[in-house]
Structure 1
Amino acid sequence: MDAAARGADDVDGAGLDPSCYEPLQQAHQLQAAGDWLSAAAIYAELACRHPDDHRLLANQGNALWLADLPAAAHLAYSRALALNPQCLVSRRGLASCLRDLNCFDQALAVHRLLEPIFPHRSEEGLANLWAHSQVLIGLERFGEAFTRMASRRAWAAGRMPTPWNALAAQITLVTEQGFGDSLQFVRFLLPLLRRRAAAGLRNGVRLRVEPALVECFREGLAWLEIPPQVDPLSPDDSTQDALTLLELPGALGLQHLPQIRGDGAYLTSPLWVGGGAGRPLQVGLVSAAGHPGADPFCIREFQKRTLPMPILWRLVDALRQSGAQVHDLQFGADACRHRALGLSPLPSGAGLDGFAATARAVAQLDLVISVDTAMAHLMGAMGRFGWVLLPWSADPRWLSAGPLSPWYPRLRLFRQPRPGDWHGAVDQLLDTFKSGHFAAGKAP
């Protein structure tokens, strides 16, 4: 979870007059219900009544940040720090706001100040370590980022990171975080396997992944001379002694992204074949970022990375009017959004039951348009042409600006030109589409 979502020095009424108790309880209830703006309004009112209490401003900043208003949250945190420069909650929140405002260098400076303050094993220290590593990725300082990512579990166990033996007879790697992270970081198997092959090791690498990824990785990595053994990972399995894919580049001591072939594909299979010629342009669409669950940070990310229905309809209608056949690639509970708009079923009756089936469906399409979700990483890993719609405060892995990604050479990024402006991002995409810069089988 992001540092700013972790809660401020929650005001329990200490030092405030009794008339504040009831509104504080109301603010807590509103936060529990996800009504962050109403909670922020209560904290702002209380801060006016108690102008010397930095905690109220810090809580206001947290609520505003969770409402995806980082500029307003930045102001609240700054006011809190003016009252108490040692307020660690506000410092953490300030770093999150700076990242969301695409001020990565300034966010990095705050994370560096915080790193020696928090005990490494503490929840705050681990959260800052992760956020620090992600800002470094956004600055393309990959070696520093990978080192920090590889330190997380050692810090959590209260020990210093120890060297990892890439040439051990048997190595087990496991996935963590989400599907998108697994699809993005499985590329680092290539330098591991090259290093082992150079040392004469022909086998011994086992990859344990979520069941939905097993067939995809088995098929997509079968092109390797010596592919890893891919097995399902159960929620009950212990992963304490295994290295995670997110830790792998740091454990290998990598300073840069590994060299991949020209189209960037590292998941590829003869089972993933394209469609025929002489047909309308076939476009797949993913418009929602997946079910958010109950976590406030996940809800925030889902909301800011999901196209509102009016924007979605505008995009679908414009693509159809330009002659494209738009196919439904949406997965999960949000698939009903596409069904409601009458999107075409997948070509050849393909399904989305697992990522291998999704890869087969993607291979039959000329272009896939997706918000920032696992589909974007699947397209990139396959070396397919794909267009990704990004919010203004995109994840740092997409960098802070520009239409290209160092991770995926065949993806094109369309960013909101200002916070919340999906119309602007869709305008850019449709202008590119209508100008003829994309044709089946040719680069965008």
Structure 2
Amino acid sequence: MRHLGGTIPKMSEDFVNGDDTDQVSIGWARLARGDLQGAESAFRLVDATSAGRPDALTGLAQISLARGDWARAAGLAGMAARASRSESQHAGSHAALGRALLRLGHSEAARAALHVALLHDPLHIQANADLADALIALGRLDEALNLVDAIVVLAQTDVGLRLKRAQILGFMGRHDEAAREFRVIADLRPDDPAAAANLGAGLFVSGDLDAAAEALDQAVRIGSATPETLNNIGLVAMARGDLGRAGHALHDAHQATPADPRIANNYATVLQELGSHAEAERLYRGIAGTKDGLEASRAGFNLGTLMLGSGRWSEGWRFFEQRLALAIPAGSGLPDWRGDSGTGCVLIEAEQGLGDVIQFARFLSAAAARVPVVVRLPETAAGLLDMIPALRAFPPGHIRTADAECVARCSLLSLPAILEAGAPSNAPYLATGPVGTRSPGTEPVVGIVWRGSPRYRFDRRRSLQLAQLAPLLATRGVTWWNLQRDVDVPGLRSVDLTTLKATADAIMACDLVIAVDTAVAHLAGALGRPVWLLNRFGGDWRWYDAPHSDGLAPGGWYRDLVQFQPEQPSPPPGCWEDVILHVGRALRARFGL
């Protein structure tokens, strides 16, 4: 263990006079070298002549910890703690006890033991690190960070502590700070492939994809292509839109560790993106049948999206529900609604992004036909219920947005499974303001959206730069409306987008909407307006059955939506060049320009 205080003097093993103190020192020296068997012999010799000596018991506990025998380690450390008399004995025994209890999952008991250890030796590095782990397990992240910050000041080059700090920052969602900490570690260990790999992983989570790819390549250059590094290379390549490299890296990672369900899930995901649905489904089913709770649920959810995308609705909705195991549980405390009628008011809560809320709002009227509902939506969806004509058929108070006494709850995205819905209707289900009518001889109005939220992991693949649209925006005879929020562009007419209702009114006045995969595409489709979706290669599951531009025949989830997609899994921005030219030709043909 790392120690700044309470260290045991090193003794030469050549000087052995049978004294127990010398044997204890020999045991600790052997343990420091990794000689577990030799250390155990020395400590047991002491225990045979001086039964219950705390430093020997602590040594035996440390050996059990090194061997992964947590229960035995806890027992030995507990005996040592009860027998301890000096400051160093209390510090060592309670530190070992705390670590063993932590490994056994007893976080609060571990915290208490480690607190005692640090009362006797505040500079005990390993005890501080383990206490931080206990606080993390207890959800006390601020305390864990403060603890590590205080001790890092005294051990600025301790890589283990800095890794702990980066981990805590990541748990707190402070990913940029975590990445900076990983950078410090990589600078401390420039020839350590693990440090470069950790930096790459941290940069990936913080969204700096290019720097992440560089760091991960560096890890391979100075070390080897470990399965974990290959996995991260694949994830970064997928986010950057280089699906070919992602497929190769994740294939190699899976081949190296075929029993790792996390890597298998990631490999299946890129196979799904590349269109190898049968192989992806085989992998998903294999993982979903394991006892690995988190990865089994992730595989089940991914399998559900694949099924829904291919029109296998009944089974797909059931697997789709496994996403709930991956989310933070709802805090309402209400039991889950199972779809039964006459049970009292049911709370229906939004989930995921605004596009998902709009897409699944089509199922609200079917739920309200069974029970009174309170619909809890994010502020961005304010006014959505007023745009659903089917809800106007219910009596006042049957559908509310304010809190009320409810007897059960469900997620909005769970309604298809609960209601046992089959294939969704693609008929429009939202309505607002009048449809724009173009007078003869006037230019068609085309609304355009070219980017989504940069917080989305695959945003680089779905969003475009405005400059990429230059060939399309140069089309003569079109009045372009800017449906992209919070940005003014010369040559594009700015319109009111301050509310969902205002955005819907603007869409209704357009003859056509061209959008990347964002909430605007869902809103236009739900309103029944013609929408051309600029969809990344592979794309999201909900667009699998949407018709492609080669036939220009609408369908899928929205009756009047057509998608334009790159034909090859090439990275952006180059993959969009032919798509934009294709859209331009289709636009001129549609309006006779």
Same fold (TM over 0.5): yes
Q: Which amino acid aligns with 1:187?
A: R
SS at match of 1:117: coil
Question: Within 2, Cα distance between the matches of 1:79 and 1:422?
Answer: 29
2:472 aligned partner: 315
Where does residue 186 of structure 1 map in the other structure? 361
Question: Residues of 2 paired with 1:169 and 1:125: CA distance?
Answer: 34
Q: Could you state the TM-score of these two structures normalised by the residue count of structure 2?
A: 0.59
* AA aligned opposite 2:450: S
The higher relative CO (CA closer than 8 Å, separation ≥ 6) is in 1
Tell me by how many angstroms 1:114 deviates.
0.8
CA contact (8 A) 1:285 1:369 kept: yes
Instruction: Give the superposition deviation at 1:423.
Output: 1.5
Judge conservation of contact 2:193–2:222 (CA < 8 Å) in 1: no
Percent identity of paired positions between Structure 1 and Structure 2? 24
Secondary structure, in 3 states, of the residue corresponding to 2:401?
strand
The alignment partner of 2:422 has SS state of: coil
Question: What's the offset of the Cα at 1:163?
Answer: 3.7
How far does residue 340 in structure 1 lie from its aligned partner after superposition?
3.2
The reply to whether residue 409 of structure 1 matches residue 559 of structure 2 is yes
Conserved? CA contact 2:546–2:556, under 8 Å:
no
Deviation sequence 1:72-98 (CA, Å, 0-9, x none): 121112222222221323211111111
Query: Matches of 2:212 and 2:326 in 1, distance apart?
Result: 34
Q: In the alignment, is the contact (CA less than 8 A) between 2:337 and 2:346 conserved in 1?
A: no
The alignment status of 1:153 with 2:324, answered yes or no, reads yes
Shift of 1:47: 4.0
* 1:366 and 2:366 are equivalent in the alignment: no
1:285 maps to what in 2?
448
Matched, 1:164 2:339: yes
> Residue in 2 aligned with 1:226?
394
Deviation at 1:371, TM superposition (A): 0.9
Q: Report the CA distance between 1:118 and its aligned residue.
A: 4.6
* Residues 302-381 of structure 1 mapped to structure 2, 5 A cutoff: 302-318=459-475, 321=476, 323-331=477-485, 335-336=486-487, 339-346=488-495, 351-381=496-526
- The one-character-per-residue Cα deviations of 1:371-420 (angstroms, maximum 9, x if unpaired) are 11001111111111111111112111100774244211111111122233
Amino acid at match of 1:399: Y
**1 or 2, which has the higher helix percentage?**
2
Shift of 1:18: 6.8
| Per-residue deviation, residues 130-155 of structure 1 (Å, max 9, x unmatched) | 22221122212121221123354378
Aligned residue for 1:85, secondary structure, equals coil
* Cα distance, 1:243 vs structure 2: 1.0
Distance of aligned partners of 1:240 and 1:230 in 2 relative to their CA distance in 1, 3 Å threshold: closer
Equivalences, count: 390
Q: Which residue in 1 is equivalent to 2:375?
A: 207
Whether contact under 8 Å (1:272, 1:359) holds in the other structure is: no
In structure 2, distance between residues paired with 1:326 and 1:33: 35
Task: Give the match's secondary structure for 1:242.
Answer: strand
| CA deviation vs aligned residue, 1:196-239 (integer Å, no higher than 9, x gap) | 4xxxxxx7233221223231321333664227624268xxx999
Aligned to 1:108: 281
Q: In 2, Cα distance between the equivalents of 1:52 and 1:414? A: 37
- TM-fit CA distance, 1:313: 2.2
Question: Match of 2:347, as an amino acid?
Answer: T
Q: Residue type of the partner of 2:229? A: L
Q: Which structure: larger Rg?
A: 2
- What's 2:298 paired with? 127
> What do you get for the CA RMSD once the two structures are aligned?
3.4
Contiguous gaps of at least 5 residues in structure 1: 1-9, 197-202
Residue matched to 1:386 = 531
Quickly say closer, same or farther: Cα 1:225–1:352, change in 2 above 3 A: same
